[in-house]
Structure 1
């Protein structure tokens, strides 16, 4: 990015190749909308060019990129006058589920659906820290830089978000079981 900042705009293609997928993943997990996420990736890369003078090189490029992405998310939410509140948690569900046998596929899909619903009911702040830490696999100090806070605060947010996710998941699961009876 420092080379792009210095005027070597050809390096922007390399940055796109390296980072467009993780960036899309973050945006998709926050919005649940493929087309919107693809558009937002383009907007983030456009803003990288437009605001390249703001990249200092003091921190990691990814941190700066996710900061821009959060701004784009906020702008889109303002434009739509509704917050993004859906997350595809298939990957997280697979991590939790482990090696299930083929005959348990229906149960696995139901668990994914419950987890998806629980994630969608989290506050944007809680969903964001879980996506950054679990899906994007950012370290707590990197997330702290993106969110302009301390690493300790991020640890607390992730802990609270996980507890809230567990509470919501359990509530949805209990409600579903009650309806089955």
Structure 2
């Protein structure tokens, strides 16, 4: 199996098969990350395409990113930030929708409901964390990036990443364990705006 860097080098030489393999490797993870971050599946798909377009531009300009994985998530996060500043987002014309749930046919209806409630509670609690802690936890546990890759993607020192991760996980644990079920409510505020906690 070729490394990311080997695929990128082949892409820079115009290898279409390498590009397809690279897209196959990263389309799903980037889409999942952007859906969680934006809470808008359609916009997430648009931004995934833009990430790949920017990679192609980098390669055409003779500047392949190294390492490539943190660069992809850095670009994705910057695209999210640009979108949140856009007039279309601020006027409320964006469509918020939940990504489709993946359900296998094995579990019972009650098990599916319980999983959905747990997932909903976790995502709501995660949205209450400060932006930097939320991004670090999502990149570490949902996208499986290494701490060094997260530091590169967010342009934050590794020691700060470790501190934010530890603090964020402690807050998440405290809020999940101490939260009564009836206090769960839909959040109207966009997730990136809650940076004061």
TM-score range (shorter-chain normalised) is 0.7 to 0.9
Q: Which has the higher helix share?
A: 1
**Structure 1 position 35 matched with structure 2 position 42:** yes
1:74 aligns with 2:54: no
RMSD: 3.1
Aligned residues: 163
State TM-score, norm by structure 2: 0.69
Residue deviations 1:94-137 (CA, integer Å, cap 9, x gap): xxxxxxx9596354443332212112222221211111000011
Q: Counterparts of 1:87 and 1:54 in 2: how far apart (Å)?
A: 38
**Within 2, Cα distance between the matches of 1:167 and 1:87?**
26
- Separation of aligned partners in 1, 2:39 and 2:11: 31
- Structure 2 CA distance, aligned partners of 1:47 and 1:113? 33
CA shift in 2, pair 1:87/1:34, >3 Å: closer
| Distance change in 2, residues 1:19/1:111 (3 Å) | closer
Give 5+ residue unaligned stretches, structure 2.
1-7, 184-197
Partner residue, 2:160? 153
Alignment correspondent of 1:112: 119
- Measure, in 1, the Cα distance between the counterparts of 2:135 and 2:97: 11
- Structure 1 residue 25, shift from structure 2 partner: 1.3
Shift in CA distance, 87/137, structure 1 to aligned 2, threshold 3 Å: farther
Query: Does the aligned pair in 2 maintain the 1:129–1:158 contact within 8 Å?
Result: yes
Using the alignment, how far apart are the partners of 2:97 and 2:134 within structure 1?
9
Runs of 5+ unmatched residues, structure 1: 92-100
Shift of residue 169 of structure 1? 2.7
Task: Give TM-score, length-normalised by structure 1.
Answer: 0.74
Per the alignment, residue 174 of structure 2 pairs with 167
Residue 146 (structure 2) pairs with residue 123 (structure 1): no
Aligned pair in 2 of structure 1 residues 146, 104: CA closer, same or farther (>3 Å)?
same
The 1:110–1:18 alpha-carbon spacing in structure 2 relative to 1, beyond 3 Å, is closer
Q: Is residue 140 of structure 2 the alignment partner of residue 133 of structure 1?
A: yes
